Homo-oligomer: A and B are copies of this chain.
Amino acid sequence: MSSDRQKRLCITDTTLRDAHQSLIATRMRTEDMLPLTRAIDKAGFFSVEAWGGATFDSCIRFLNEDPWHRLRTLKEELRHTPIQMLLRGQNLVGYRHYSDDVVDKFVFLSHKNGVDIFRVFDALNDIRNMERPMARVKDTGAHLQGTISYTTSPVHSVSGFVDLARELYSRDCDSICIKDMAGLIMPAVAHELITGIKDEMDILVDLHSHCTSGIAPMAYEAAIEAGIDILDTAMSPFALGTSQPPTESVVASVKGTARDTGIDLLKLREVRNECLKIRNKYEGLFTPVAERVDSDVLIYQLPGGMITNLVSQLQDQDALDKLEAVFDEIPRVREDLGYPPLVTPTSQIVGTQAVFNVLTGGRYKTISNEVKDYVKGLYGKSPGSITTEIQKLIIGNEEVITVRPADLLPPMYEKMKEEATAAGLISKEEDVLTYILYPAIAPSFLKGERTAEPIPVAARKKENSLSLP
């Protein structure tokens, strides 16, 4: 397969999903996406990541927008470019497991409304949590991208990730994504992992990283060398910081080489100009901290968003002076829990417990319900084992499940549909899913009682024109 390493590099642009999720808390509105989408559609991307992840939640919670309507609208504009969504395995676009009948409906309707490529991941890399949605994606005929949630720990290794790739490959994935949500993959590791997968499997490999630690562009270069097929990038006005490396730079970096993307920089310039307009509108949401390289990420090995969340959790408790102590506690909690990768929802679970352990004056004096459920196996199998002591400490004599968590969930679609219909909430099939996924918000949203959050006005930053003679 070494000839693959000389072929065209493909680009998945994330501007419509991960980039604004990372930089402006997923607040980009559909109306702003439209002119951008038209420019994007001419660029020649392999795909655009434009749906899933936190966009569903944000649409109904903050923007008073129907996520399904957004998807259909984007689909009308994107005539040449496949739409990719990020699907959290059995969690879909929520934060807990859903029963299989809900998963089935969700995948079916996502595809029907416009999703062409499904990127499916599980926070614990527990393939059982990915199997059901993956099988349904194959049923629809869409492109199935299986995902490795990348992390570092004593129980994670390149060969372990290659094993996972093999499992995904054997389940008929059309491509494999290495999802490096914390932006921690080192160039040499990226090279080894990509080579490891491609040496053995005839499958497209995608690298998805974040610039939080400043390593991602270097890892991307190493990935190009190693023969990566697809790189995830964001247009420059929404790139860097906690977002992806810039699309234009990656495209330019291989211009005229064997890995040329075939994408025209002048067409990207039009996309960029649309992005600049949007950026201008949302300037008040950008935070300097999200845009700068945070070298603490290198020391604490935590995703950028997680650090921001911890800071605000501690601020709320007037305990910001405990931040270092929490940073020190997190690796210990993570070890106790068998080293889960830190990504939604495990990053929240580990972070919150570490805060409890520090603030309540004793480790596991207060234990969150999520940690209890985690130790019970209700999120799936932990990557490393959990000691009997920790298990006892956290759940006492309660039972640990060994089955797939969703096996314990009875079908709920029809029941919820009836309930929502009776409440007068349903005007289309998709509304049932909205109701099931976000039962607290969906009623007011579906009744049209919510309003869009205003976009904060930016404190105008002076544009200096200092220059030396």
Could you list which residues of chain A lie within 8 angstroms of chain B, going by C-beta atoms?
A: 21, 24-27, 54, 57-58, 61, 95, 186-188, 213-215, 217-222, 224-225, 236-237, 239-240, 245-246, 248-250, 252-255, 257, 265-266, 268-269, 272, 284-285, 287-289, 291-296, 298-299, 305, 308-309, 311-312, 315, 456, 458-469
Q: Is the CB of B293 within 8 A of A249?
A: yes
Q: Is the CB of A186 within 8 A of B464?
A: no
Q: Is the CB of A464 within 8 A of B268?
A: no
How far is the CB of A10 from the nearest CB of chain B, in Å?
17
CB-CB under 8 A for A299 and B54, given A26-B468, A218-B218 = no
Q: Max chain B CB contacts within 10 Å: which of A27, A61, A272?
A: A272
With a cutoff of 8 Å between Cβ atoms, the chain B residues found around residue A305 in the complex are 467
A443 and B71 alpha carbons, distance in the complex (Å): 68
CB-CB under 8 A for A299 and B220, given A246-B293, A464-B456, A467-B305 = no
A311 and B467 alpha carbons, distance in the complex (Å): 11
A25 and B469 alpha carbons, distance in the complex (Å): 10
CB-CB under 8 A for A237 and B465, given A218-B221, A220-B218, A221-B221 = no
How far is the CB of A215 from the nearest CB of chain B, in Å?
5
How many copies the complex holds: the figure is 2
A136 and B288 alpha carbons, distance in the complex (Å): 45
With a cutoff of 8 Å between Cβ atoms, the chain B residues found around residue A237 in the complex are 292
Q: A187-B224, A284-B464, A289-B463 are in contact. List 10 more A-B contacts (CB 8 A).
A: A25-B466, A186-B252, A186-B255, A213-B248, A214-B246, A215-B253, A218-B249, A219-B253, A269-B295, A291-B291
With a cutoff of 8 Å between Cβ atoms, the chain B residues found around residue A25 in the complex are 464, 466-468
Q: Which 7 A-B pairs have the closest CB atoms?
A: A214-B249, A248-B295, A217-B217, A25-B466, A221-B221, A218-B221, A214-B246
Nearest B residue (CB) for A95: B469
A84 and B311 alpha carbons, distance in the complex (Å): 39
How far is the CB of A22 from the nearest CB of chain B, in Å?
11
CB-CB under 8 A for A285 and B464, given A240-B293, A248-B295, A249-B298 = yes
A459 and B288 alpha carbons, distance in the complex (Å): 13
A sample of 15 inter-chain contacts (CB < 8 A) reads A21-B468, A95-B469, A188-B257, A214-B217, A214-B252, A217-B217, A218-B253, A249-B298, A252-B295, A252-B298, A265-B298, A284-B462, A287-B463, A288-B463, A458-B461
**Which residue in B24, B219, B248 is a CB contact (below 8 Å) of A298?**
B248
Nearest B residue (CB) for A212: B249
A292 and B220 alpha carbons, distance in the complex (Å): 19
CB-CB under 8 A for A252 and B215, given A188-B257, A464-B285, A466-B285 = yes
Q: Is the CB of A253 within 8 A of B295?
A: no
